[in-house]
Amino acid sequence: MPSSPFFMMLCIAALTVALLAAAAPLSSRQISGDFQCNLNRLLIVTDLNDLQTTLSILSAKSCDASTNATIQGIQADIAGAQTAVNAILQALVNGQDAPGNARDQVAGNLTLAQAPLLSLNFTDPVTEANVIKAQTQFNNSVLAGNGVLQNCN
């Protein structure tokens, strides 16, 4: 069953280990270690990147300045979360605990983004499908972010 979710997770895990090994020297604990931690570390980065891509598509499809302003606000919040995620990942790579202020900044920015993201509403079905996609990517980012905090210390 090559397409089973479990098989895909194994592939992602192998990719994660390869990426992390290439990116920075890690302690043996981190390399041998925690499958969930490595998976969540990869996912928080890819989910937020994917969300930014979808937001750019939505911005291009937006027909009024007010919707554009809403989307720009979401993009700025997600960019703030990405900056704070990078600070957390850097600390973990250095063998330190995730800094508390960076945790607050991830949570604070995602909280700011949530309501405007839920308020987006397009009549064009293709664009509306991208709204749902963005909301799914947002939810996945929250799950992955929580996973990093739970599994990577």
Give the binding site for ligand NAG (CB under 6 A): 59-60, 62-65, 68, 80, 83-84, 104-105, 108-109, 112, 121, 132, 135-136, 139
Q: How far is the CB of 8 from ligand NAG (least distance, A)?
A: 19
Closest to ligand NAG by CB, 33 or 108: 108
Q: How far is the CB of 29 from ligand NAG (least distance, A)?
A: 28
Question: Are the C-beta atoms of 78 and 51 separated by less than 8 Å?
Answer: yes
Closest to ligand NAG by CB, 106 or 152: 106
Q: Would you say the C-alpha torsion 57, 112, 40, 33 has a positive or negative sign?
A: positive
d(CA 110, CA 81): 7
Closest to ligand NAG by CB, 16 or 54: 54
Closest to ligand NAG by CB, 26 or 45: 45
d(CA 134, CA 71): 11
Closest to ligand NAG by CB, 35 or 122: 122
Angle CA(85)–CA(86)–CA(87) in degrees, nearest 5?
90
CB-neighbour burial class of residue 29 (10 A; exposed 0-12, middle 13-18, buried 19+): exposed
Question: Are the C-beta atoms of 24 and 42 separated by less than 8 Å?
Answer: no
Q: How far is the CB of 80 from ligand NAG (least distance, A)?
A: 3
DSSP state of 67: H
Give the CB-nearest residue to ligand NAG.
108
Q: How far is the CB of 139 from ligand NAG (least distance, A)?
A: 4
Q: How far is the CB of 28 from ligand NAG (least distance, A)?
A: 31
